Amino acid sequence: MRWINTKPGPAMRLMLMLAPFVLLVIAYSMGSAARLADNPSDKLLPALASLTDAINRMAFTPDVRTGEYLMWVDTTASLSRLLWALGISTAIALLFGMTVGMFPYVRALLAPFIATISMVPPLALLPILFIVLGLGEAAKITLIVIGVAPAMIRDLALKVIELPREQIIKAETLGGSSWQIALRVVLPQTLPRLLTCLRLQLGPAWLFLIAAEAISADSGLGYRIFLVRRYLSMDVIFPYVAWITLLAIIMNFALDRLRIAIFPWSNLERQ
């Protein structure tokens, strides 16, 4: 028997999946207990009870000054910016990815430019965006679009180029125009990859969002983290980081389920 031929059952898979998280919580609890034993006022690794109190204070207790539930207000603000940016990036990537992949003249014109833009570090452009677009929502959304759209365009263009040439030739033989080939042959095979590409860009998108909110915002998850860091409020920062991670996981899972639901044939190769 070789280990490469053995697969865990559902129960074992669940245990293996949870094991690293349980070990992480145990390691954190031990480290926190050790630091608090030496210094009860230590703020670097607050006890789990302190984290729970902070979650209750931020998510389920109205703020004494504004009367708002801060964690939900921050979540709404961040998700609004993120979804707008991802929606714009997806539309741009689909349009340019297909045209660059399908038409050699467009590829010769735009592919080098898009490759160059994708190499520009987006965070270096943030001061320029704030100067040109102001400190409002436009600059934050634009930063995310600049950060994720070029990579999505390149990925989709490569997917279109890799489509079997025989399919295009058959469509041309049947009299299909470029527009019909794009809609009936290329688009259906590109959309599953678009959703996968969007999943892969969730991490960078969150990174650019947090960076933009840290510099200029009055609400948002990134804004709150960088606001409370002045007071070394790790009991707030840790739950916020965990909440951002959970939101990203939910979005990643939802996009994957959406791909399988709409394009079930795209999952056959993985079974």
Residue whose C-alpha is closest to residue 102's, from 37, 32, 172: 172
Q: How confident is the model at residue 3 (pLDDT cuts 50, 70, 90)?
A: confident
Q: How confident is the model at residue 270 (pLDDT cuts 50, 70, 90)?
A: low
Compute the distance between CA of residue 117 and CA of residue 115 in angstroms, rounded to an integer: 6
* The model's pTM: 0.86
Averaged pLDDT score across all residues of the chain = 90
Compute the distance between CA of residue 103 and CA of residue 265 in angstroms, rounded to an integer: 27
pLDDT digits (tens, 9 = 90+) for 133-168: 888 888 899 999 999 999 999 999 999 999 888 888
Compute the distance between CA of residue 36 and CA of residue 3 in angstroms, rounded to an integer: 43
pLDDT digits (tens, 9 = 90+) for 197-206: 999 999 999 9
Spatial CB neighbours of 215, under 8 Å, sequence gap ≥ 6: 126, 130
Q: How many CB atoms lie within 10 A of CB 101?
A: 24
